[in-house]
A = this chain, B = another copy of it.
């Protein structure tokens, strides 16, 4: 009996979950295009052709929608980076993999990443802290790979791991802003930028 009820609940929950997904997608798009403060729940409802009041069945507030969008915008970043850190390849291969992994989600989560990058300052304090901790963990992984490369001779010994990390993350985050205007794949961008920062622009001559 209990099982039957649970099963019915799950069946009923499926369309709700799907609708919630659509709403989070719409919120991400509206936040990315207009900014958190420039976007209204009416804009989100309009995009979906639903009534504004119905939105509150899925999200209690615009802020709650922003939290969900930012959470998805950063989901998996640290886990992927930690997996790269653990595998046994060279520091150069690790750094290349970190750079590629950072822009890969732009393929299907560009609105989520843009919202995270531009609008996270509007998150409530506790969410902002959580997101800040994720950023610091990601920075620490970049710094660790750079230090390892410096130690084992793969990288120049006079690099500044901290500034290099911030510069690389800034460079890769900027891809979210400009890649859609350039006629080039994310893989190509990742390779080109990794070559630039590893080999440098100057010729070997």
Residues in chain A within 8 A of chain B (CB atoms): 35-38, 92, 95, 118, 121-122, 146, 149, 153-157, 159-160, 162-164, 166-171, 173-175, 177-178, 182, 184, 188-189, 192-193, 196-205
Contacts and interface: CB of A to CB of B under 8 A. Distances in A.
A31 to B, nearest CB: 11
Given A118-B118, A174-B171, A201 B163 contact: no
Contact of A37 (B37, B157, B167): B37
A150 to B, nearest CB: 9
A201 B149 contact: yes
A178 B173 CA distance: 13
A175 B170 contact: yes
Contacts of A204: 156
Contacts of A201: 95, 146, 149, 155-156, 159, 164, 197-198, 200
Contact of A170 (B36, B178, B199, B200): B178
Contacts of A189: 163
Contacts of A171: 167-168, 170-171, 174
Nearest to A161: B201
A202 B155 contact: yes
Nearest to A177: B170
Nearest to A122: B38
A192 to B, nearest CB: 5
Contacts of A149: 201
A171 to B, nearest CB: 4
A203 B157 contact: yes
A178 B38 CA distance: 25
A203 B162 contact: no
Most central of A36, A160, A204 by chain B CB within 10 Å: A160
Contacts of A92: 202
A205 B153 contact: yes
Contact of A174 (B95, B174, B203): B174
Contacts of A122: 35, 38
